Chain A
């Protein structure tokens, strides 16, 4: 155990492990890039769709069912099939990660919007709001916690699964894991270090998104008092705490 830990310490304190095209910096950058693009694309695809479905209350069952099937799709299978279609490199990995990221965002956003209290919506319409205004000023702010729960789930899954990209020649931190597996002498150290970096990255993303969520949550829905002033405008429109 002591031997193992000193191996881990040596791995991280060796500067040559950080630099170059096989170093931590480069692979970390690849990992962040591919995860960020995947979640961004998933947001663009999933958010408007799920919001519209939740707002109209139509087609929700079908959307959730499709999303759940998507969730069950093994990413590794998508990766292998994707590599045959799109070649190796970033593309098949992006495909697998985008497909992985969409379902939690769709399901949570739909549920969040659809479950907004009917009385709130009636009151908003009674005040003369249009459908668009109801969505933007009532439903979305109320659904922020659930919407963000979906985005955070998608992001953490994405960061963890991006390790698979190493199988299609697109580096990422997964390469440390693969090389660790393939090295009998010092392998478990490298594997562990790769996995540790992935965990740290996932936690950083999680904490960062929690911060963004806080900033996006209207004052009335916050459990603790501190408010970012930029969003006070929304807070005025939203009725009292649920």
Chain B
């Protein structure tokens, strides 16, 4: 019994040691690469992403550009909402993610006021530095969270803006992901800035096929979608204007660990940010959802067409 126990403990220790060395050597490689002045050594990049289609698409756009530039790149997409992805990034389980500037700032500081993309990026900097992270250039391409109503609701109440929603919200059901309950950019923000209180909240996916189907079939009347979603045009949904700017700047910003931030990586990443436009996003999203193409292949085409990396 005793020897068996010792054996088991020994084996466990050996496994732990193996894992530790594996991690250690990875970290070592990263550390040595960042000390190389020219950035000739290329650290292994693990690109992660949140659990909706555009996040996967962006992961592949940035990741493929890095791969083209010669970086060893692996992908961990559709991890979960920001509340799951950010801890993974801070823990080093992933070391690169394409984020949305405003929502990311709201994650770090729920009381941050909504502001321009550049100001948001500047405000983000100290929060990232504290966690050993860096950001690349903010892209012009933007995709904000959008509150949309279906055509029946628009026809009935003639809604164009969130400011008109408060008096009728008591008759409407709102649908969105679970995080809507607590995020300042969703239900709490609408209540605070516009006095909107819906009849009920139905917990669905994050602006995905379930939410779209429910809004289209009028099972919910209002939904949290993404502004670059091609189904908004396809199903004639109306995105409500946000005169009080309760939604943040939805500009895309690359976020990565200091350990992989070589000069070359930053150059490649900023080149991608500079190339991307909102129109590109809508076009690619539409290819994915209407033409049933995979985010991987859409991203690959984009990267090679624009000579990124």
Query: Which chain A residues (120-177) contact chain B, with CB distance < 8 Å?
Result: 166-169, 171, 175
Closest to A81 in B: B209
Contact of A181 (CB < 8 Å), options: B84, B214, B220: B84
Q: Decide: B213 and A183 in contact? CB cutoff 8 A.
A: no
**Inside 8 A of A167's CB, which chain B residues have their CB?**
203-205, 210
Interface size classification for chain B:
20 to 34
**Inside 8 A of A169's CB, which chain B residues have their CB?**
175, 202-204, 214, 219-220
**Inside 8 A of A182's CB, which chain B residues have their CB?**
81, 83, 177-179, 181-182
**With A88-B204, A88-B219: A183-B210 Cβ-Cβ less than 8 Å:** no
Contact of B213 (CB < 8 Å), options: A84, A184, A187: A84
Q: Does B116 contact A (CB under 8 A)?
A: no
Residue with the greatest number of chain B CB neighbours at <10 A, chosen from A79, A171, A187 = A187
Closest to B82 in A: A184
Residue with the greatest number of chain B CB neighbours at <10 A, chosen from A167, A169, A181, A187 = A169
**With A182-B182, A184-B87: A175-B203 Cβ-Cβ less than 8 Å:** yes
Query: Which chain A residues (156-212) contact chain B, with CB distance < 8 Å?
Result: 166-169, 171, 175, 178-179, 181-184, 187
A83 to B211, alpha carbons, bound, how many Å?
9
**Inside 8 A of B246's CB, which chain A residues have their CB?**
none
Q: Decide: B203 and A178 in contact? CB cutoff 8 A.
A: yes
Q: Decide: B204 and A184 in contact? CB cutoff 8 A.
A: no
**Inside 8 A of A215's CB, which chain B residues have their CB?**
none
Closest to B177 in A: A182
Min Cβ gap B101→A in Å is 18
A181 to B180, alpha carbons, bound, how many Å?
12
Closest to A187 in B: B83
A183 to B86, alpha carbons, bound, how many Å?
12
Q: Does B217 contact A (CB under 8 A)?
A: yes
Min Cβ gap A43→B in Å is 29
Interface residues of B (CB under 8 A from A): 80-84, 86-87, 107, 175, 177-179, 181-182, 202-205, 208-210, 213-214, 217, 219-220
Q: What are 26 of the A-B contact pairs (CB < 8 Å)?
A: A83-B213, A84-B209, A87-B214, A87-B217, A88-B202, A88-B204, A88-B213, A88-B214, A89-B219, A166-B203, A167-B204, A168-B210, A169-B175, A169-B203, A169-B204, A175-B203, A179-B181, A182-B177, A182-B178, A182-B179, A182-B181, A182-B182, A183-B179, A184-B82, A184-B83, A184-B107
Supply 5 further A-B pairs (C-beta < 8 A) apart from A88-B204, A89-B219, A178-B178: A80-B208, A83-B214, A88-B210, A169-B220, A184-B107
